[in-house]
């Protein structure tokens, strides 16, 4: 099974957009889907839409990292530790 990110390089960009949109319909937080959609829009010359998709991918990555850091801090904080 080929990686979804490679689809934008191998298929017609419009098909890639449909594929990534379908993927994101199932999981709005799937970063590779947003990145692939950004690449496909870039190839179509849709700079503004490409930038929006890239920013969404960046936002999700940062949010996931923040959630992991907060979870790690909570697990070590005395008020949150299980007794």
Q: Residue ranges per domain, the chain?
A: 4-58
DSSP string, 29-59: T-HHHHHHHHHHHHHHT-HHHHHHHHHHHHH
Quick: pLDDT tens for 45-65. Answer: 999 999 999 999 999 999 998
Instruction: Say how many Å lie between the first and final Cα of the chain, rounded.
Output: 46
Band (pLDDT 50/70/90 cuts) for residue 1 is very low
Q: Using CA of residue 71, residue 75, residue 79, residue 83, what is the dihedral sign?
A: positive
Is the model's pTM score more than 0.85? no
For the stretch 3-62, pLDDT in tens is 666 555 556 888 889 999 999 999 999 999 999 999 999 999 999 999 999 999 999 999
Q: By the 8 A CB rule, do 37 and 17 touch?
A: yes
Residue range 4-58 in CATH 1.10.10: no
Distances from the Cα of 80 to the Cα of 37, 64, 69, 76, angstroms: 39, 20, 14, 7
């Amino acid at each position: 099974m080929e990686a979804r990110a490679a689809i934008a390089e191998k298929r017609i960009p419009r098909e890639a957009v449909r594929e990534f949109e379908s993927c994101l319909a199932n999981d709005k937080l799937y970063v590779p889907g947003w990145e692939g959609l950004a690449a496909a829009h870039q190839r179509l010359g849709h700079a503004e839409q490409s930038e929006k998709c890239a920013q969404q991918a960046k936002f999700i990555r940062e949010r996931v990292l923040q959630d992991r850091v907060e979870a790690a801090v909570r697990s070590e904080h005395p008020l949150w530790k299980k007794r």
